[in-house]
C-alpha cells in the first residue's frame, strides 16, 4: 500500500470523525468506525489487541502504558481493522505479533501498514504543514512542542517528520 493510499484512508477516517485540529481524538475515530475501545490492565509486554467481529472490532489497550503509547496502540489496532488485515485476533507484544491460524504470511508488511496509518491518523501531514509553516525543524524543542500538541512521543513525531521528508 502506497503512502498516498495510507494518507487518503487517514483523511477519510478523520473526516468521518469530524477531526479538524490536533490532538486527534482517537477514541472518537475508533468509535466512528463501529469499533469499541477498552482500556484494561494487560501483561506489561502487551501494548494492545484487536478482536475482529466481521467488519467491527474490539480494541483493548493497556491502560498501564503511557498516554502516548495508548493512543498509538489504539490507532495501530484500528488500522488493522480498517485495512482489513487477515485474521481475527491481533495481539501486539513487543515486536512479536500473534495471529490466529487464518493469518497470512504478510505480517511484517501488515505491521508496517498499521504503523503508517496510525502515524497518519495521529499526526496528519496537513495539520503538521500548518504548524510548521516557515519554521526550521533543526530546533529539538520544536519537535518536543509538536509531540506535546499531538499527544504522541517525541520519537513518534521525529519518525513521522522523517518519513514525510521534513527532517533527515
Express each pLDDT in 123-132 by its tens digit: 999 999 999 9
What percentage of the chain exceeds 70 in pLDDT? Answer: 90
Tell whether 107 is covered by a domain: yes
Containing 8, the helix (H) or strand (E) segment is helix 3-16
SS3 content of the chain, % helix, strand, coil (to 5): 50, 15, 35
Tell whether 147 is covered by a domain: no
- Going by DSSP bridges, is the β-strand pair 36-40/56-62 parallel, antiparallel, or unpaired? parallel
The total of structural domains in the chain comes to 1
Tell whether 133 is covered by a domain: no
Tell whether 73 is covered by a domain: yes
Mean per-residue pLDDT over the chain, rounded: 89
- Does the pTM surpass 0.85? The reply is yes
Tell whether 139 is covered by a domain: no
Tell whether 108 is covered by a domain: yes
Range of the domain at 68: 3-122
Tell whether 45 is covered by a domain: yes
CATH at residue 13? 1.10.10
Q: What is the pLDDT of residues 76-94, one digit of tens each?
A: 999 999 999 988 998 887 5
Tell whether 164 is covered by a domain: no
User: Which of the four pLDDT bands, split at 50, 70 and 90, describes residue 165?
Assistant: confident
Amino acid at each position: 500500500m502506497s503512502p498516498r493510499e495510507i494518507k487518503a484512508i487517514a483523511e477519510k477516517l478523520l473526516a468521518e470523525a469530524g477531526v479538524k485540529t490536533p490532538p486527534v481524538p482517537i477514541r472518537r475515530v475508533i468509535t466512528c468506525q463501529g469499533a469499541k475501545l477498552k482500556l484494561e490492565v494487560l501483561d506489561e509486554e502487551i501494548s494492545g489487541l484487536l478482536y475482529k467481529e466481521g467488519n467491527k472490532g474490539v480494541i483493548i489497550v493497556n491502560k498501564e502504558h503511557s498516554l502516548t503509547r495508548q493512543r498509538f496502540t489504539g490507532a495501530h489496532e484500528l488500522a488493522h481493522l480498517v485495512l482489513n488485515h487477515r485474521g481475527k485476533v491481533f495481539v501486539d507484544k513487543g515486536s512479536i505479533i500473534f495471529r490466529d491460524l487464518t493469518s497470512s504470511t504478510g505480517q511484517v508488511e501488515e505491521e508496517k501498514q498499521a504503523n503508517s496509518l496510525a502515524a497518519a491518523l495521529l499526526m496528519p501531514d496537513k495539520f503538521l504543514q500548518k504548524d510548521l509553516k516557515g519554521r526550521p525543524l533543526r530546533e529539538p524543542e520544536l519537535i518536543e512542542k509538536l509531540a506535546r500538541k499531538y499527544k504522541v512521543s517525541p520519537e513518534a513525531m521525529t519518525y513521522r517528520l522523517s518519513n514525510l521528508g521534513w527532517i533527515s
